[in-house]
C-alpha cells in the first residue's frame, strides 16, 4: 500500500476502473502518507478523513456494480482554501474574521465530485492569495519556501500526500510553487475554467490552477473542469476540445520561442540550466529561437498590479473599513494602495493588459509555445517570502495558458522548472507540446520528504 501514493491520476483511475485497485486502499494510502509527512510540511488546513473514507467506499461499491462516475473515479483531491467545499470552513488563509461556512461547492469542486473524485481536504494558502506566507514548508528542504499563494496545494502534491490538488493564479500563484516543489502546475486561458465559488483576489486575472505529476494528468483534469459556467461572469462559452487525446497523440518536435528578457533576469545557474534544456530539445528535433516581446510588455507588470490592487480593494472594501487591524501587513498595504487609485488609471491599466494579449496572439502564430524559466532561481531560503512571481505574471495578466514542468535539480538540491506559454484557448496544442517536452526531460526525482517512512 505504501507505493500507492506514487501513482499518477491516469494510472490510478485506470486500475480502479479495471477493478485492480480499490479506491478505499488508495485513499488510505494517502491518509497514511499525510500522517507521516504533514508534521514537517504543514500543507493542510483541514482534513475530512472520515468523509473521504465514506466517499471511497461509495466509489468502490459503484465499480463493483459496474458504474463509474467519470474519469477521476476514486481519485483523492485537495483544494486550496479559497475554494468553497460544502460543509468545510473556508479560511482564505486569514483569521477567523474572514472565515466562511459554505453550504454549496465551488463549481470546480462540484465538477470534480461529479467525475468521481474524493475530497481529502483544504490546503494552505497565503492570506487572501497574496504575499503574507502560510506555514507550509518546501518538501525538498523545509528551510525554503514552497512558493505561494497555492503553497499547500503544491507541497501536498510534491510530497505525495495527494495526486491532484487545485490552486489558483492571479499573478504567479500556481506555476511558481509548482516549480519550487518539483511538480507540474497548469493554468488555462482566463475564462476556460469557472472561478465561481472561489474567494477572489482580482476577478480580471483569477485562474483555477491544477497541480499534478504528468501532462496526461493535467489533460484528464482539464477535461473535467473546462467549459462554460453562467455563474462566473468571466467564463467564456468556447468549445472544449479533447484534451486527453491531445496529450496522448504522437508528439512532434515543437517550435519554441525564448523571450530573452526573462533569461537576462535569471541567475547564472538558472540560465545554464535553461541552455542545457534548450540543447536537449534541439537534439530531439525542436526549433528553438530567441523572440522579442511586444513593446507593451515594458508597462505590463505595473498595469497588471494596479488592476490587482483595485479589484482586491473592491472585494474587501466593506470588511476592511471596520477591521483594518485584522488584515496582515502585506495584504493590508495592497488594499490601502488600491483605495488611492483613480478610475481612469484602472481603466487604462486594463486596456494595457488586453492590448498585450492581442499582440501575443499575433506573436504566437509563429510558435507552438514560448519557453522560459518559471522563476529566476530555485525556491529561496526562509519562510517570510514566497518568491518572485514576475516570470509568471505577464501570462496571467494576458490570460493565456501556461504550464510549469519540473526539469532538473539545482546545486543546492532544490528543483528547477521550465515554463511553457501558449496562445489563448489553445490548451490542447500546449498540452501536446508539453507532452513532448516531458518525454525529453524525463524528470523522475522526488524530494527528501517523499523518502520518509
What pLDDT score was predicted for residue 396?
Answer: 98
Q: Which CATH class is domain 2-260+275-290+368-451?
A: alpha beta
**Is the pTM above the cut of 0.95?**
yes
What pLDDT score was predicted for residue 452?
Answer: 46
What pLDDT score was predicted for residue 449?
Answer: 63
For residue 414, which of 406, 422, 426 has the smallest C-alpha distance? 406
pLDDT above 70 (res 62): yes
Residues 6-46: tens digit of each pLDDT? 999 999 999 999 999 999 999 999 999 999 999 999 999 99
What pLDDT score was predicted for residue 453?
Answer: 34
What pLDDT score was predicted for residue 249?
Answer: 86
For residue 205, which of 221, 191, 220, 225 has the smallest C-alpha distance? 191
Over residues 352-374, the mean pLDDT reads 96
pLDDT above 70 (res 102): yes
pLDDT above 90 (res 262): no
Over residues 197-208, the mean pLDDT reads 98
**Which of these is catalytic: 36, 153, 173, 407?**
173
For residue 275, which of 144, 408, 173 has the smallest C-alpha distance? 408
Residues 288-324: tens digit of each pLDDT? 999 999 999 999 999 999 999 999 999 999 999 999 9
Say how many residues make up the chain. Answer: 453
For residue 226, which of 254, 186, 199 has the smallest C-alpha distance? 186
Q: Report the DSSP beta bridge partners of residue 75.
A: none
pLDDT above 90 (res 356): yes
Q: Report the DSSP beta bridge partners of residue 193.
A: 226
pLDDT above 50 (res 329): yes
**Which of these is catalytic: 149, 151, 168, 194?**
149
For residue 74, which of 31, 22, 109, 5 has the smallest C-alpha distance? 22
Helix (H, G, I), strand (E, B) or coil at 91: coil
What pLDDT score was predicted for residue 60?
Answer: 98
Structure confidence at residue 145 as a pLDDT band (50, 70, 90): very high
CB neighbour burial string for 438-451, b if at least 16 within 10 angstroms, e if fewer = bebbebeeebebbe
**Which of these is catalytic: 80, 122, 187, 426?**
80
**Cα distances (Å, whole numbers) of residue 407 to 46, 183, 219, 380:** 31, 10, 19, 18
Q: Report the chain's mean pLDDT, rounded to a whole number.
A: 96
Residues 390-438: tens digit of each pLDDT? 999 999 999 999 999 999 999 999 999 999 999 999 999 999 999 999 9
Q: Would you call 149 a catalytic residue per the annotation?
A: yes
What pLDDT score was predicted for residue 3?
Answer: 87
Kindly state the percentage of the chain with pLDDT values over 90: 96
Over residues 220-246, the mean pLDDT reads 98
Over residues 275-288, the mean pLDDT reads 98
Q: Say which residue the cell 496571467 belongs to.
A: 396
Cis peptide bond upstream of 377, omega within 30: no
Residue 20, exposed/middle/buried by CB under 10 A (0-12, 13-18, 19+)? exposed
Helix (H, G, I), strand (E, B) or coil at 207: strand
> From edge to edge, which strands make up the β-sheet containing 118-123?
44-47, 118-123, 76-80, 165-169, 207-212, 184-187, 402-409, 415-421, 369-373, 255-259, 287-291
What pLDDT score was predicted for residue 450?
Answer: 59
Over residues 321-341, the mean pLDDT reads 97
What pLDDT score was predicted for residue 228?
Answer: 98
Furthest-apart CA atoms within the chain: distance in Å: 61
Each domain of the chain, given as residue ranges in start order, spans: 2-260+275-290+368-451, 297-362
Amino acid at each position: 500500500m505504501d507505493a500507492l501514493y506514487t501513482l499518477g491520476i491516469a494510472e490510478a483511475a485506470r486500475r480502479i476502473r479495471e477493478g485492480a485497485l480499490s479506491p478505499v486502499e488508495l485513499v488510505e494510502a494517502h491518509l497514511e502518507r499525510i500522517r507521516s509527512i504533514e508534521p514537517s510540511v504543514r500543507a493542510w488546513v483541514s482534513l475530512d478523513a472520515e468523509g473521504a473514507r465514506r466517499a471511497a467506499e461509495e466509489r468502490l461499491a459503484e465499480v463493483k456494480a459496474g458504474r463509474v462516475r467519470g474519469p477521476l473515479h476514486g481519485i483523492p483531491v485537495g483544494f486550496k482554501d479559497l475554494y468553497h467545499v460544502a460543509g468545510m470552513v473556508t479560511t482564505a488563509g486569514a483569521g477567523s474574521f474572514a472565515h466562511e461556512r459554505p453550504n454549496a461547492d465551488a463549481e470546480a469542486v462540484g465538477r470534480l465530485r461529479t467525475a468521481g473524485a474524493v475530497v481529502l481536504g483544504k490546503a494552505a494558502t497565503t492570506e487572501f492569495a497574496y504575499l503574507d506566507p502560510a506555514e507550509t514548508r518546501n518538501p525538498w528542504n523545509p528551510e525554503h519556501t514552497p512558493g505561494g499563494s497555492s503553497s499547500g496545494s503544491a507541497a501536498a502534491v510534491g510530497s505525495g500526500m495527494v495526486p491532484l490538488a487545485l490552486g489558483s493564479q492571479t499573478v504567479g500563484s500556481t506555476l511558481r510553487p509548482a516549480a519550487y516543489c518539483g511538480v507540474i502546475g497548469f493554468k488555462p486561458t482566463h475564462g476556460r475554467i469557472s472561478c465561481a465559488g472561489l474567494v477572489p483576489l482580482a476577478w480580471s486575472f483569477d485562474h483555477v490552477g491544477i497541480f499534478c505529476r504528468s501532462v496526461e494528468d493535467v489533460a484528464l483534469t482539464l477535461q473535467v473542469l473546462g467549459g462554460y459556467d453562467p455563474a462566473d461572469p468571466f467564463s467564456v462559452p468556447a468549445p472544449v476540445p479533447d484534451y486527453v487525446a491531445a496529450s496522448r497523440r504522437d508528439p512532434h518536435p515543437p517550435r519554441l520561442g525564448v523571450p530573452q528578457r526573462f533569461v537576462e533576469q535569471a541567475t547564472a545557474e538558472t540560465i545554464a540550466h535553461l541552455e542545457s534544456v534548450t540543447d536537449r530539445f534541439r537534439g530531439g528535433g525542436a526549433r528553438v529561437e530567441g523572440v522579442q516581446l511586444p513593446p507593451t510588455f515594458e508597462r505590463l507588470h505595473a498595469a497588471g498590479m494596479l488592476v490587482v490592487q483595485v479589484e482586491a480593494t473592491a472585494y474587501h472594501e466593506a470588511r476592511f473599513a471596520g477591521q483594518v487591524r485584522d488584515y496582515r501587513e502585506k495584504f493590508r498595504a495592497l488594499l490601502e494602495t488600491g483605495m488611492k487609485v483613480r478610475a481612469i488609471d484602472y481603466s487604462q491599466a486594463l486596456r494595457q493588459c488586453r492590448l498585450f494579449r492581442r499582440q501575443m496572439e499575433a506573436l504566437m502564430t509563429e510558435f507552438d509555445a514560448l519557453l522560459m524559466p518559471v522563476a529566476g532561481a530555485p525556491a529561496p531560503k526562509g519562510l517570510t517570502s514566497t518568491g518572485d512571481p514576475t516570470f509568471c505574471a505577464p501570462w496571467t495578466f494576458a490570460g493565456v495558458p501556461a504550464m510549469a514542468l519540473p526539469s532538473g535539480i539545482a546545486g543546492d538540491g532544490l528543483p528547477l522548472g521550465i515554463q511553457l506559454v501558449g496562445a489563448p484557448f489553445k490548451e490542447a496544442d500546449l498540452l501536446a507540446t508539453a507532452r513532448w517536452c516531458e518525454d525529453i526531460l524525463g524528470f523522475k526525482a522526488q524530494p527528501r520528504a517523499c523518502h520518509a517512512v
